[in-house]
Amino acid sequence: MNSLLAAMRRHKITVLKGAHDLGPLLFMREVFVNPAAAGAPCPSSRPLAKKMADAVPLDGEGLIVEVGAGTGVVTQALPDRGIAAHRLLIIEKSPLLFAHLRQRFPHINVLLGDAALLASMIPDGQRIDALVSGVPLRSLPFKESEAIVAHWRRLLLNIAT
């Protein structure tokens, strides 16, 4: 909690006393500061998160990697579906949202990083069973989003074989 509050102070965010879920407030701050990075005017909904999590296979021992976790709506839906916390690797680029995710999910491995550099965050030889993306690819320049998807494809093919 202290790291989240420190990050909020650095970014000049004031939270009302008694506020329980800071996610939407933090997301709105990100939208105003860098709309292209947020990619949407509001966080993913719980029904969308459930649909995304339902597509993730329950069997397997490999990692379930979520990139662009934002406020953690999809992150929450994954263990709600039955995915064990030790299989989850969550990547978030925003330092503010990263601090929020670390505080919200203390038993899940959450890393501060860029989806375009995903391979550098995967332990050597670790298999990935699913890649869940909240990265706003359509908000990025085409060449950049194309490069990210190609990077993910190479990573998944190299680890899966």
Q: Which residues pair with 63 in a beta bridge?
A: 128
Long-range pairs of 147-155 with CB within 8 A, sequence gap ≥ 24 = 147/116, 148/115, 148/116, 151/116, 151/118, 151/119, 152/115, 152/118, 154/119, 155/118, 155/119, 155/122, 155/128
- 105 near 75, Cβ under 8 Å? yes
Write out pLDDT tens, residues 90-112. 999 888 889 889 989 999 999 99
Residue with the larger pLDDT of the pair 14 and 42? 42
pLDDT over threshold 60, residue 8: no
Those residues whose C-beta lies under 8 Å from the C-beta of residue 31, and which sit 6 or more positions away, are: 38, 40, 41
**Domain limits, the chain:** 2-160
If you classify domain 2-160 with CATH, what class do you get? alpha beta
Would strands 88-92 and 109-112 be described as parallel, antiparallel, or unpaired?
Answer: parallel
Confidence (pLDDT) at 41: 55
Phi, psi dihedral angles at 122 (to 5 degrees): -95, 125
Least confident of 35-39, 142-146, 153-157: 35-39
Residue with the larger pLDDT of the pair 60 and 43? 60
